[in-house]
Amino acid sequence: EPSILTDSDSFQEVVVKIERSTYNKPFLGGFRNMRTGVEFHNAGSQTKLRKRPDKGIQLFCRETQTILEKNKPQQTRNTTSTQMTKIGVYVSNMTDKLISPGKYFTAEEYHKRRLEAVIVLQKYFRRWHAINVVQNLREQKRLRLAWEAQEELQKKMEKEEKLRREYERKLNPKTKEDFELLYHDLELWMQEETERINRTLTGAERKAALCELLEKEAQLIACFGRHKLNANEENQQKAMLHLLDKCAQPKRWKAYDGKITEMDTQDTLRGKELLEIYRSISIKDIPVDERMAVLLTLRCTVKEHECKLTQEIVELIDREVDLMSREVKECNLEGLRKRICTLFLQYIKIPKFNPGVAGLLKVPQDPLKLYKNVYLCHSCENYLPSTEFPIPANSRTIGRCRLCCNLDNEARRRDTFFKYRLILENLRKSEADYQDDAKIVSLVQLPDLQYMIENIWNCQSALSAWSELYDLVMVRWDKQHEWSPWNTILLTKEEADAHLKLCNLQKAYEAAFIYRIKQKHIWAKNYFARMPAMSSFLHRSDNQAHTS
């Protein structure tokens, strides 16, 4: 209880209530008396704040929101001094430097100097960048020229290989396409020779030259005929061996893990046995004892079935054995051995003796099936199946068979269809790769494709006008829709690859070029509109065009 002086000589005791703080007061600094060593701490007091009544609304202080901050750096004083040489003091000047004032330059001159230095740096950098760009362009040019030279060399080699193959095919013709090329070249040679004779000779000399040319043509045709007979004989032999080999092939199927499983049945084993016997009896110039063993095996095989054919084969075998025992020359036995081979082939083609051949014969064993899809060829007057007639898509009658058409072509026009057939095969193969169930390409036949190439596309590429048919292919004009005569374009192989990579035809080609292509498509539509098989596809394409 402290006493408070109220008057000049009176005191009053007052009760002071001290509230003890519940927290530690912070250290606010202080000082220490250097003489007495007593420490004095700075103290502070704060009365208890009165709480404002809660109004239920959150309030914000305007001064806190709009407080202004100000940063002002300050630097303390640093007192320094310099000692110079004077009386009584010596200061060495060995490390002193003599500084002389340089030329004064303004801020404008300083920035100009920096700009000139930057320009120099930019010059060297741009020179370095330009050298790199030029080197890259030079390398790209070198690679491009090397690629073009490689492509040119490859094309040249392919062309030489193609000419070599054509020459080889003409020198040793084997297939129908080879003889087409021969007759086509014969017709070209005849036209050139006829034109030369008509241009250089007149009167009796001209007639004599034409007669001589006709005789040469007849000799060449006879030579072609002999080659064709030999080729047919070889092809028949190969076809027969291929048929027997297919009969002897085991059954194959693919398992779920991708492995191929093979299984031999009784039919395939019988086919292998007959194939080995046929190859054995077809071998020439073998010793007599081996020939005897082969004939004995053949005799035992055919004796399993009693019929007129097997009896004839057995009689021929016994005759050959008798002649060989009498040491008859080999050349005199060729006809007999050929008859044995022919009769044994007939034996192999009978499903009763060789069950595996039943599904490979062109002529069905049931006679009733022969009356289905059989038509009369009015040229050779033979009844043939529908597969032997080349029926175009716009044809309304059967017409002539393939053999008569080929014979007429060899005698009159002598055209070659190998190039068009190659284009059609490439087209069907490319459409099969799309796997979108394209149907129109299977309806287009070789005469239809020939008409399109010759009359609509003029036997040349739509882009480069390249006229070598070996290098041309037909592809889709719009690859989003299936191929059709009104959705196609004739290009070279390189142009076709580039065309199929395009996404927007309107941006890739000029309007005039697209207009020409559309005109050709309209021409093709008018031509194929007369074909009943194409009418449904035409209506469907028109509906797609209207919806798009």
Structure-token pair, residue 404: 């008569």
Structure-token pair, residue 59: 């309030």
CA distance 72 to 325: 136
pLDDT tops 60 at residue 548: no
Structure-token pair, residue 213: 């040319």
Q: Select from 312, 288, 313 the least CA-distant residue to 299.
A: 313
Q: Name residue, tokens 């009584």.
A: 88
42-61: burial string, b at 16+ Cβ within 10 Å, e else: eeeeeeeeeeeeeeeeeeee
pLDDT tops 60 at residue 509: yes
Regarding pTM above 0.75, the answer is no
pLDDT tens-place string over residues 449-465: 888 898 999 989 998 88
Average pLDDT over residues 115-131: 96
Under 8 Å between Cβ of 497 and 477: no
Task: Tell me the β-bridge partners of 260.
Answer: 254
Residues with Cβ within 8 Å of 261's Cβ and at least 6 positions away in sequence, in order, are 252, 253, 254, 255
Under 8 Å between Cβ of 320 and 336: yes
Radius of gyration of the chain from its Cα atoms, rounded to whole angstroms: 54
- Beta strand spans in 33-133 (E): 39-41
Report which of residues 167 and 396 the model is more confident about.
167
SS3 content of the chain, % helix, strand, coil (to 5): 55, 5, 35
pLDDT tens-place string over residues 374-405: 888 888 888 888 778 877 656 667 778 888 88
pLDDT tens-place string over residues 270-320: 888 888 888 888 888 888 888 889 888 888 888 888 888 888 988 988 888
pLDDT tens-place string over residues 408-436: 888 888 888 888 888 998 898 988 888 87
Residue 385's SS3 state is strand
Residues with Cβ within 8 Å of 514's Cβ and at least 6 positions away in sequence, in order, are 505, 506
- DSSP characters for 234-261? HHHHHHHHHHHHHHHPPEEEE-TTS-EE
Q: Using a pLDDT cut of 70, give the percent of the chain over it.
A: 89
* pLDDT tier, 527 (very low <50, low <70, confident <90, very high otherwise): confident
* pLDDT tier, 148 (very low <50, low <70, confident <90, very high otherwise): very high
Structure-token pair, residue 204: 């009796």
Under 8 Å between Cβ of 543 and 488: no
Report which of residues 2 and 445 the model is more confident about.
445
- HEC string of 109-136 equals HHHHHHHHHHHHHHHHHHHHHHHHHHHH
Average pLDDT over residues 47-65: 67
How far is C-alpha 153 from the geometric centre of its chain's CA atoms? 22
CA distance 475 to 502: 13
Under 8 Å between Cβ of 345 and 362: no
* Alpha-carbon dihedral angle through residues 454, 457, 459, 461, given to the nearest 10 degrees: -170
Q: For 411-417, which contacts have Cβ atoms below 8 Å and span 24 or more sequence positions?
A: 413/187, 414/183, 414/184, 414/186, 414/187, 415/180, 415/184, 416/177, 416/180, 416/181, 416/183, 416/184, 417/180, 417/446, 417/450
CA distance 534 to 334: 56
The one-character DSSP state at 26 is P
Directed axis angle between helix 176-200 and helix 203-248, to 10°? 170
- For the chain, domain boundaries: 122-165, 176-247, 260-369, 373-415, 421-546
